């Protein structure tokens, strides 16, 4: 029985996708989960061959099924979320939004399952987390209590009914509004504990996140200054080396 769905929409991510995949291979959980990737055919496509090289390690991390949705032309991110939701296993209870340029904490799936299934929250996110700039090597910390925050997850039953939309921005809010309408009175859990040392987001190699670059030189809400650097994070040295190679290529 599949208990959780990790949803990962992909576009122009051939250089950075290893980051998300490595973090999923590092999950520590007894939960049986599936990975659903949605991607267009294009010059920077990952393709099924790239994903297949992680199959055995993903299985060791509890991933029972990998589904690859491929499109002949570009489609909007909300439509990808909708499509992934409709392809989620019938028994899945938790729907985790996995950005292709983010490294998820090893306990992400386990904690999401506990909060959403065992504690019966409709929506989960985190108020603190690190961001690393692939261009400059700078690090800042997200620290805010916004309508939506980091590492979002919600009940899979809401993912199955995501409506059509051509939105190109405000998509997190679009998803939260949908969940709120479905839940009537949404039970949201925004975890405020310190940022995890084995989790971080990146800027500089994706299509939306690159627009955050100015926050590193002019730190402002929702970010704060941090003394933590890439070398301080609790991730494997080979991952750090790959990120540094992206900077120097």
- Specify the pairing of strand 128-133 against strand 200-203: parallel
Edge-to-edge order in the sheet of strand 150-155: 63-71, 33-40, 4-10, 94-97, 150-155, 123-126, 188-191
d(CA 247, CA 177): 37
Q: 104-128, pLDDT tens digit by residue? A: 999 999 999 999 999 999 999 999 9
Give the pLDDT of residue 206: 64
Find, among 33, 109, 86, the residue nearest to 64 by Cα. 33
Q: Which string of DSSP letters, residue by residue, matches 108-159?
A: HHHHHHIIIIIS--SEEEESEEEEEETTT--EEEEE---SS-EEEEEEHHHH
Q: Are 105 and 196 in contact (CB under 8 A)?
A: yes
Q: 145-159, pLDDT tens digit by residue? A: 999 999 999 999 999
* Interior angle at CA 245, CA 239 and CA 249, nearest 5: 155
Find, among 52, 20, 4, the residue nearest to 235 by Cα. 20
**Res 237 pLDDT > 60:** yes
Q: 13-31, pLDDT tens digit by residue? A: 999 999 999 999 999 999 9
Three-state SS for 167?
coil
Q: Are 153 and 124 in contact (CB under 8 A)?
A: yes
d(CA 219, CA 138): 11
- Specify the pairing of strand 94-97 against strand 150-155: antiparallel
Give the pLDDT of residue 73: 96
d(CA 106, CA 124): 16
Q: 170-225, pLDDT tens digit by residue? A: 999 999 999 999 999 999 999 999 999 999 999 987 665 556 888 999 999 999 99
The model's pTM: 0.96
Say how many residues make up the chain. 249
CA-CA-CA-CA dihedral for 12, 129, 131, 175, to nearest 10:
30
**Res 249 pLDDT > 70:** no
d(CA 222, CA 121): 24
Give the pLDDT of residue 213: 81
């Amino acid at each position: 029985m599949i208990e959780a769905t990790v949803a990962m929409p992909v576009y122009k991510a051939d250089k950075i996708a290893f980051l998300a995949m490595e973090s999923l291979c590092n999950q520590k959980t007894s939960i049986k989960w599936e990975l659903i990737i949605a991607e267009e055919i294009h010059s920077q496509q990952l393709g099924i061959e790239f994903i297949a090289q992680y199959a055995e390690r993903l299985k060791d991390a509890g991933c029972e099924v990998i589904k690859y949705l491929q499109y002949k032309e570009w489609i909007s991110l909300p439509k990808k979320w909708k499509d992934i939701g409709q392809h989620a296993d019938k028994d899945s209870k938790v729907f985790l939004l996995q950005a292709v340029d983010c490294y998820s904490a090893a306990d992400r799936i386990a904690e999401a399952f506990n909060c959403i299934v065992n504690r019966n929250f409709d929506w989960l996110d985190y108020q603190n987390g690190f961001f690393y700039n692939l261009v400059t090597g700078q690090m800042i910390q997200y620290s805010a209590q916004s309508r939506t925050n980091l590492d979002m997850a919600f009940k899979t039953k809401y993912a199955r009914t995501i409506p059509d939309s051509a939105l190109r921005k405000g998509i997190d809010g679009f998803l939260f509004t949908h969940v709120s309408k479905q839940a009537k009175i949404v039970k949201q859990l925004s975890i405020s504990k310190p940022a995890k040392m084995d989790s971080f987001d990146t800027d500089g190699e994706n299509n939306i996140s690159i627009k955050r670059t100015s926050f590193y030189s002019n730190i402002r809400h929702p970010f704060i200054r941090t003394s933590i650097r890439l070398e301080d994070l609790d991730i494997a040295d080979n991952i750090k080396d790959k990120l540094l190679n992206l900077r120097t290529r």
